[in-house]
Amino acid sequence: MDEEVLGYMKQLVQNLKTGDLSLQEVPAPALLPAAVLVQNRMSLISAGTERSTVHTGKLSLLGKAKKRPDLVKQVMDNIRKEGLLSTIHKVKNKLDWPKALGYSSCGVVLESGEEGRFHPGDLVACAGQDYASHAEVVCVPRNLAVKVPEGVSPREACFTTVGAIALQGVRQADVKIGENVCVIGLGLIGQLTAQILRANGCFVFGIDVSGYTVTKAKEMGIHAAETRMSPGLARAVDSFAGPHGFDKVLITASCADNDPVLLATEILRKKGVLVIVGDVPVAVPREPHFYKKELELKMATSYGPGRYDPHYEEGGQDYPYPYVRFTENRNMGVFLQMMAHGMVKVEPLITHVFDFSDALSAYELMMTKREPYIGILLTYGSLPEALAPRSVSVRLSPVKAVNIGFIGAGSFAQGYLLPALKGLDVSLDTVVTTKGISARSVAEKFGFNTASTDPEAIVTSEAVNTVFIATRHNTHGFYANACLKAGKRVFVEKPLCLTMEDLKTTAALGREGGGLMVGYNRRFAPLSVWVKNHLNPQDCPVMMNIRVNAGYVPADSWVQLPDVGGGRVLGEICHFVDLMLYWSGSQPARVMASGITPKGGKWRLEDNLLIQLEFKNGSIGHILYTAMGSVRMPKERYEIFSAGSSFVIQDFRQGTGYIQGQEETVRRPGKGHKEEVHAFIDALHSGAGCPIPFDDILLVSLTTFKILKSIETRSPQDIDLHELYP
């Protein structure tokens, strides 16, 4: 097969703005640490979930808002904090992002990011939205992949994720042998749930709105089943469950009203248990049944413990076996074993099989419901045995003197950095992201010549001479140093790095080659420049007070993880340290920091800090940084005092100056994102040094490390640039 064909794979993609589906040619995904690269053999369309996803995507913006009121609240909060125009820009950018469909597949391992558990050639079942998608090649974290046992075919193994969802619902019900259990909703998950319950020694009754799925359940061995609107439903329930009612009810349906919940409360016995697995409104009336029967309500979280935990799913950290017996990975393994031993059968549930090249026909069938279906599979043809991450040519535009590559292009890069390059005298050469679908989308949206999932395509490129790095924080230092070593000019988003080792390497490489810029945008904000133009720190030191109402960030967010985001000192407070360096015109000499950890465990120590900085020219600065404040309070307020003048900046929207007895109000909104990019590009064209002095760049990172040390030791820390040099 020729090199051009090797350069891409096909993936099923939905446009979030229009809801349109397409089969796109995108670069193969990068192999991530603690993950495996898998060539799909089969994937399962989860009809209920994916039909809902496609339907929501086709709604108008108002329709999407009605569907997700939780997101509407986030939008309103963002408007209060950042303004209407900024929020509209964010929403549009989000809707321009393509979505990969699918989350349950089976394939052959091509490469493994770890030794021991998986090897090339292993047949594995894969799980996870954004991971086990409908694509020829997928990259799946190790805790979302399980080896397929002997006797289980790829056709069967691709059901594993959905089977794990059904299994977790049964576990939440905590069923006992001999209990009467009702399953409301006999789609794919309901059918599997009924089989698992039967294998567990329960007597199983099923209810669904579709006569077809009721009949299928009876064929599969359920003890009894009726349609929801059947006139004989009440009689059948009484006959099956007796006068007391069902011990447990599992709702596996997907619908827009709470009829399944109301029905469940009617047919459950006193002190019965209701488990919700499907997507139904949880509107539980207190009367007449829920209160009087003292019913118990439980939710089943997808595949099981570990779901939505980035430590588990992305980081590959397992839960201890004795304490969490059945994680999502172990649930997947159990379901595979149940199929291997004949306890659960999925072959009779397969109603349609489509070649992946004809995937859109499968979705047309699902959306139009022109014929009954339950299990819809996509099958994949053969690809080269070793398909490494590659680059795809999107267009061919002329190369200019400043030829740019982007490593990382998430929402921040698309919202601020890339739009700022529009209209400048530069060429966009290559964009690299971990997923081919996003690389292709960004390349087409912003005009890159090449989309890739391999950072080496930029680092080793002779054509690319300027690199923007906008990845997660833990990779900033590595990529920045690699690009500096390769002789490229580098713009790296903050923070510069997360370790002293990386900072020392940058100090050596940057001083030798120059050309390093860090995204400390606030010093380029029009209001920051306005204040700076009125200061003369050589004649009079500057006093600075910065209050940051930062807002709550969950402890399990990647930003808070020490080895990924680095925490809020390294990841955000660096902005305010840099701004103080800019206004004071001096190097920091000493820092003292302390924090509080309120009771309850919601906030981390780094979330609520007081920081005092002393500068060599006598200037001083104070930072109050908190995550405990109200979301209705403006985020940032700056007060600057020097030589009889005072300045106040509120959220970089408006500034007030008290200068030589006169009051001046200035409205120059913006946090400096566009200005910093323009300053960087202008410096490249003119051959001048980077807009932020290299020593300032190093000192900001060094100061944030010293802040952490001060918090740890509860003592002041001296700051000396010579620490970075041997």
Per-residue pLDDT of 97-156, as tens digits, reads: 788 999 999 999 999 987 678 999 999 999 998 899 999 999 999 999 999 999 999 999
- Mean pLDDT, rounded, for 362-378: 91
- Tell me what pLDDT residue 113 has: 81
The one-letter code for the residue type at 500 is M
3-state secondary structure (DSSP) of residue 281: coil
Answer for the pair 178, 202: CB distance below 8 angstroms, yes or no. Answer: yes
- pTM passes above 0.75: yes
Q: What is the 3-state secondary structure (H, E, C) of 211-225?
A: HHHHHHHHHCCCCEE
User: How does DSSP assign 92-135, residue by residue?
Assistant: HHHHTSEEE---EEEEEEEEESSSSS--TT-EEEEE-TTTS-SB
Contact 568, 623 (CB under 8 A): no
Q: What is the mean pLDDT of residues 319-346?
A: 96
Residue showing tokens 């589906």: 21
At 233-258, the pLDDT tens digits run 999 999 999 999 999 999 999 888 89
Of the candidates 670, 639, 633, 635, which has an alpha carbon nearest to the alpha carbon of residue 652? 670
Strands 588-595 and 654-659: unpaired
Whether the CB-CB separation of 267 and 254 falls below 8 Å is answered with no
Q: What is the pLDDT of residue 94?
A: 64
pLDDT band at 95 (very low <50, low <70, confident <90, very high): low
> Tens digit of pLDDT for each residue in 670-695?
999 999 999 999 999 998 888 999 99
Distance of alpha carbon 499 from alpha carbon 568, whole angstroms:
14
Listed in sequence order, the residues at least 6 apart from 203 whose beta carbon sits closer than 8 Å to its beta carbon are 178, 179, 180, 181, 223, 240
372, amino acid identity = P
User: Cα(372)–Cα(351) distance, rounded to whole angstroms?
Assistant: 8
Mean pLDDT of the chain: 90
pLDDT exceeds 90 at position 78 = no
Which DSSP string do the residues of 68-94 spell out, in sequence order? -HHHHHHHHHHHHHH-HHHHHHHHHHH
pLDDT of residue 82: 61
Alpha carbon of residue 99 to chain centroid: 12
Please indicate whether residue 701 or residue 367 has the higher confidence score (pLDDT): 701
H-helix or E-strand spanning residue 446: helix 436-446
Average pLDDT of the residues in 597-626: 91
Give, as one character, the DSSP assignment of residue 541: -
* Residue whose entry in the numeric block shows the structure tokens 């149940």: 338
CATH number given to 391-517: 3.40.50.720
**What is the reported pLDDT for 521?**
97
pLDDT at 64 over 60: no
The ranges assigned to domains in the chain are 3-161+309-379, 162-299, 391-517, 522-724
**pLDDT score at 6:** 40
Burial of 499 by CB count in 10 Å (0-12 exposed, 13-18 middle, 19+ buried)? middle
The closest of 685, 692, 663 to 528, measured between CA atoms, is 692
For residue 661, what are the contacts with CB-CB under 8 A and spacing of at least 6? none
Q: Is the pLDDT of residue 485 over 50?
A: yes
pLDDT at 75: 62
pLDDT score of 56 more than 90: no
CA distances from 24 to 45, 60, 438 (A): 18, 24, 11
**Three-class SS string for 583-594?**
HHCCCEEEEEEE
Per-residue tokens: 56: 């929501």
C-alpha dihedral over 623, 628, 630, 636, to 10 degrees?
A: 20
**The two domains 162-299 and 391-517 share their CATH topology (first three levels equal):** yes
Cis? peptide before 495, omega within 30° of 0? yes
Cβ atoms within 10 Å of 17's Cβ, excluding its own: 15
Q: Does residue 3 surpass a pLDDT of 50?
A: no
In sequence order, the β-bridge partners of residue 377 are 44, 353
Q: 450-452 and 516-518: which strand pairing? A: unpaired
| Model confidence band, residue 91 (pLDDT cutoffs 50, 70, 90) | low
Band (pLDDT 50/70/90 cuts) for residue 1 is very low
Residue 663: other Cβ atoms inside 10 A: 9
Residue 85 — very low, low, confident or very high, per pLDDT cuts 50/70/90?
low
Question: Which letter, b or e, does each residue of 268-281 get, where b requires 16 or more Cβ atoms within 10 Å of its Cβ?
Answer: bbeebbbbbbbebe
Query: What percent of the chain has pLDDT above 90?
Result: 72
For 374-422, the pLDDT digits (tens) are: 999 999 986 555 454 477 788 888 899 999 999 999 989 999 999 999 9
Q: β-pairing, 403-407 with 391-393?
A: unpaired
81 pLDDT above the threshold of 80 = no
In this model, does residue 304 exceed pLDDT 60? yes
Q: Which pLDDT belongs to residue 656?
A: 96
b/e per residue 681-720 (b: at least 16 CB within 10 A):
bebbeeeeebbbebbbbbbbbbbbbbbbebbeeeeebebe
Question: What order of strands is seen across the sheet that includes strand 391-393?
Answer: 391-393, 450-452, 427-432, 403-407, 466-469, 489-492, 516-518
Residues pairing with 659 in the sheet: 662
CATH of span 3-161+309-379: 3.90.180.10
Main-chain dihedrals φ then ψ at residue 552, nearest 5 degrees: -80, 135
Query: Which pLDDT value is given to residue 5?
Result: 34
What mean pLDDT do residues 473-500 have? 96
* pLDDT one-digit tens code per residue, 161-211: 999 999 999 999 999 999 999 999 999 999 999 999 999 999 999 999 999
Q: E strand or H helix at 41, and its extent?
A: strand 35-45
265-271: Cβ within 8 A, 24+ apart: 265/289, 265/290, 265/293, 265/295, 267/182, 267/237, 267/241, 268/293, 268/295, 269/241, 269/244, 269/245, 269/293, 270/244, 270/245, 270/294, 271/295, 271/296
| Confidence band for 2, pLDDT divided at 50, 70 and 90 | very low
Say if residues 217 and 285 touch (Cβ distance below 8 Å): no
Tell me the average pLDDT across 632-653. Answer: 95
pLDDT digits (tens, 9 = 90+) for 284-297: 888 888 888 999 99
- In what helix (H) or strand (E) does residue 614 lie, and over which residues does it extend? strand 609-615
Give the right CATH number for 522-724 from 1.10.10.10, 3.40.50.800, 3.30.360.10, 3.50.50.60.
Answer: 3.30.360.10
Supply the CATH classification number for the domain 162-299.
3.40.50.720
**Pairing between β-strand 403-407 and β-strand 466-469 as defined by DSSP bridges:** parallel
Calpha distance 105→146 (Å, rounded): 11
Lowest mean pLDDT among 55-64, 193-202, 376-385, 698-707: 55-64
pLDDT at 4: 38
Taking a C-beta distance cutoff of 8 angstroms, is the pair 407, 430 a contact? no
Q: Which residues pair with 613 in a beta bridge?
A: 591, 621
